[in-house]
A and B are shown apart, each in its own frame.
Chain A
Amino acid sequence: MANLTVNIGKLKLKNPVMVASGTFGYAEEFKDFIDLKKLGAIVTKTITLKPRKGNPGPRTCETPAGMLNSIGLENPGIEGFIAEKLPILKKIGVPAIISIASEGEAGEFVELSRRLDKIKEVSAIELNISCPNIRDKSRLISQDAQATYELVRSVRKVTQKTLITKLSPNVTSIVEIAKAAQAGGSDALSLINTLTGMSIDVRRRRPKIASIVAGLSGPAIKPVAVRMCWEVYKAVDLPIIGMGGIMNTEDALEFLIAGASAVSVGTGNFINPKASVEIIAGLKNYMTKNRINDIKNIVGSLKT
């Protein structure tokens, strides 16, 4: 029997397949299509301290083998989340990883983490310091090693929960930022958030997304994401949750072989709501066929 269990910090997952923040709502949206209990973990849409209305539309557009989005962290705020969404996640019974962010104030991350630390059903916290769709796109925390270090460190002081830091690919050296997150006390890394991009309606000479610059996701970004996982795997001793354009089992395997301990399906959920559970079955098949009894033996197994 193939062993698919993986550890991400203190978190033990029955399999390495999760769903990426912002692509799975708060899970209830997918209950008609898959058995949610099969998932390794569920990462929620990002929560902020206060409710946010998000950005004006159009918020999404299709691009070659990908899509752009600028949702702008629309969410019901921490209180709304606890009242309306957490009970649903609790019922599903799969580890719930709560993604959090703030518009500017780093202090918001601390406040949010302090609240979440007291909630038993919160399995881990993902620090979304890399969302490109906030007002000041020019200075994301995850684009500055020192700021990343300080933020993770201040959150680390208020919670014992597993801390996952989600990094931006829009940097010169992701390894440098990953090291800063590790030094700050992060237990794991999520790689990668969206790449910033633009798309233009040439007939109207207008941006296809109202906020002009948006985040690119989908198969188009997969090679970039795999490369970043591999670079970080070689340089940093933290478990990596790999994501970026995973559509099927083969994509997931690429990330695992490059060094990710787990994977997240993101945009793939939009096209095939069953993608995540199909990948879980696909990984089992792959292991059986190749006589691999522990998924950990695949992680970082790239031959060079």
Chain B
Amino acid sequence: MAYQAKAKILKNSCVGGNYFKMEISCPRVSKSALSGQFVNLKISDRFIPLLRRPISIHNVRGSKIELLYEVVGKGTELLSRKKAGEELDLIGPLGNSFSYVAKRTPILVAGGMGVAPLVFLADKLKKQKPLVLVGAKTKKQILCVKEFEKIGCAVKTATDDGSVGFKGRVTDMLKNLLSTIDYRQLTLYACGPKPMLKAVSVIAKIKNIPAQVSLEEHMACGIGACLGCVVNTKKGMKRVCKEGLVFDSGEIIW
């Protein structure tokens, strides 16, 4: 069940660079939100920008929902200027969710903003002591390391330019890691750009490790009506906003 509700902004602040963290209060939505789901925010009462902005749920604490977002265009720019006390028209929680796999050690793989939903997931999985691999272009784009550590996760970082952690892609770091450990009892969760998710799915297939990937696509409605965000899968075209965001990596035709 999803709701269209008013959410009150409690906090909205820059956490470095173009990255912002917003806390909103929306008890009806926070109560039922699952990790991997998103909310669709109406940012303006005017017609520019017209469409809602889908933003993944970064974490939930009681009636509070946390959102981590990057300012990439007009919509997110307007969002970043919202003040505590203002209200947002919100639809959520939307989409399916990550499924928890018992008796397997989770490895979470994040690329860039892909960390956003994985913090919520790590929180849910904390008893299983997940390992988190965070990759980005440079040190400045490495996010949420402290949050993951606070939850109790071990964190490894990778940057394209080597400014922090492993020099290279996060998926290469994953590959290296899997060549040194027993991977038979692992399960992968990944969120990030499509090429990264494709690389994760290739690794998962070779090593025969179950992997769930959270996809991102252009959305118009976010509720499964417009068919704008579909992805080609072995079971036909699927709506990223409805049958996703989370898919078994083997299901996707990349």
- Nearest CB of chain A from residue B6's CB, rounded to whole Å: 13
Interface of B (DSSP majority class)? loop
A25 to B230, CA, bound (A): 13
Sample of 6 more A-B contacts, CB < 8 Å, known A23-B221, A269-B225, A271-B51: A29-B223, A29-B242, A30-B223, A59-B218, A66-B50, A218-B47
Q: Are B1 and A60 in contact (CB under 8 A)?
A: no
| Interface assignment of B228: CB less than 8 Å from any CB of chain A | yes
Q: Are B217 and A57 in contact (CB under 8 A)?
A: yes
Chain B residue numbers with a CB within 8 Å of A83 are: none
| Cβ proximity bits B38-78 to A, threshold 8 Å, 1 near / 0 not | 00001000011111100000000000000000000000000
Q: Are B225 and A25 in contact (CB under 8 A)?
A: yes
Chain B residue numbers with a CB within 8 Å of A74 are: 227, 230, 237
Chain B residue numbers with a CB within 8 Å of A53 are: 232, 236-237
**Which 3 A-B pairs rank lowest in CB-CB distance, beginning with the nearest?**
A60-B228, A65-B47, A270-B221
Q: Which residue of A lies closest to B49 (CB)?
A: A62
| Interface assignment of B91: CB less than 8 Å from any CB of chain A | yes
Q: Are A59 and B227 in contact (CB under 8 A)?
A: yes
Chain B residue numbers with a CB within 8 Å of A29 are: 221, 223-225, 242
Query: Can you sample 11 A-B contacts with CB below 8 Å?
Result: A25-B225, A32-B3, A53-B237, A57-B218, A59-B229, A62-B49, A62-B50, A65-B47, A69-B226, A74-B227, A218-B50
Chain B residue numbers with a CB within 8 Å of A219 are: 47, 50
Interface residues of B (CB under 8 A from A): 1-4, 42, 47-52, 89, 91, 217-232, 236-237, 242
With A57-B217, A65-B48, A219-B47 as given contacts, are A274 and B226 in contact (CB-CB < 8 Å)?
no
Q: Are A59 and B230 in contact (CB under 8 A)?
A: yes
- Nearest CB of chain A from residue B53's CB, rounded to whole Å: 10
- Nearest CB of chain A from residue B51's CB, rounded to whole Å: 5
A54 to B223, CA, bound (A): 18
Give residues of chain A (32-90) contacting chain B, Cβ–Cβ below 8 Å. Answer: 32-33, 45, 53-54, 57-62, 64-67, 69, 71, 74
With A65-B50, A270-B51 as given contacts, are A60 and B237 in contact (CB-CB < 8 Å)?
no
Q: Contact check: which of A23, A59, A270, A274 meets B52 at CB < 8 Å?
A: A270
Interface of A (DSSP majority class)? loop
Q: Are B226 and A23 in contact (CB under 8 A)?
A: yes
Chain B residue numbers with a CB within 8 Å of A220 are: 47
A33 to B40, CA, bound (A): 13
| Contact residues on A (Cβ < 8 Å of other chain), bracket | 35 or more
Q: Which residue of A lies closest to B231 (CB)?
A: A57
Q: Contact check: which of A45, A69, A272, A274 meets B220 at CB < 8 Å?
A: A69
A218 to B221, CA, bound (A): 13
| Interface assignment of A24: CB less than 8 Å from any CB of chain B | yes
Q: Are B221 and A269 in contact (CB under 8 A)?
A: yes
- Nearest CB of chain B from residue A199's CB, rounded to whole Å: 12
With A32-B1, A33-B4 as given contacts, are A270 and B47 in contact (CB-CB < 8 Å)?
no
A218 to B47, CA, bound (A): 9
Q: Are A271 and B50 in contact (CB under 8 A)?
A: yes
Chain A residue numbers with a CB within 8 Å of B1 are: 32
Q: Are A57 and B2 in contact (CB under 8 A)?
A: no
Chain B residue numbers with a CB within 8 Å of A127 are: none
Chain A residue numbers with a CB within 8 Å of B91 are: 33, 273
Q: Contact check: which of B52, B220, B232 meets A60 at CB < 8 Å?
A: B220
Chain B residue numbers with a CB within 8 Å of A61 are: 218
Q: Are B218 and A32 in contact (CB under 8 A)?
A: no
Q: Which residue of A lies closest to B240 (CB)?
A: A57
Q: Are A247 and B224 in contact (CB under 8 A)?
A: no
| Interface assignment of A282: CB less than 8 Å from any CB of chain B | no
A69 to B219, CA, bound (A): 11
Q: Are B225 and A24 in contact (CB under 8 A)?
A: yes
Q: Are B230 and A270 in contact (CB under 8 A)?
A: no
| Interface assignment of A22: CB less than 8 Å from any CB of chain B | yes
A65 to B228, CA, bound (A): 18
Chain A residue numbers with a CB within 8 Å of B3 are: 32-33
Chain A residue numbers with a CB within 8 Å of B231 are: 57
- Nearest CB of chain A from residue B43's CB, rounded to whole Å: 11
Q: Which residue of B lies closest to A76 (CB)?
A: B236
Chain B residue numbers with a CB within 8 Å of A274 are: 4
Q: Contact check: which of A65, A66, A67, A270 meets B225 at CB < 8 Å?
A: A270
Q: Which residue of A lies closest to B73 (CB)?
A: A62
Chain B residue numbers with a CB within 8 Å of A271 are: 42, 50-52
Chain B residue numbers with a CB within 8 Å of A45 are: 227
Q: Which residue of B lies closest to A27 (CB)?
A: B225
Chain A residue numbers with a CB within 8 Å of B237 are: 53-54, 74
Chain B residue numbers with a CB within 8 Å of A30 are: 223, 225
Chain B residue numbers with a CB within 8 Å of A269 are: 221, 225
Q: Contact check: which of A33, A57, A58, A270 meets B226 at CB < 8 Å?
A: A270
- Nearest CB of chain B from residue A74's CB, rounded to whole Å: 5
Q: Are B50 and A273 in contact (CB under 8 A)?
A: no
Which of B1, B2, B221: most chain A Cβ within 10 A? B221
- Nearest CB of chain B from residue A223's CB, rounded to whole Å: 13
A67 to B220, CA, bound (A): 8
Q: Are B2 and A60 in contact (CB under 8 A)?
A: no
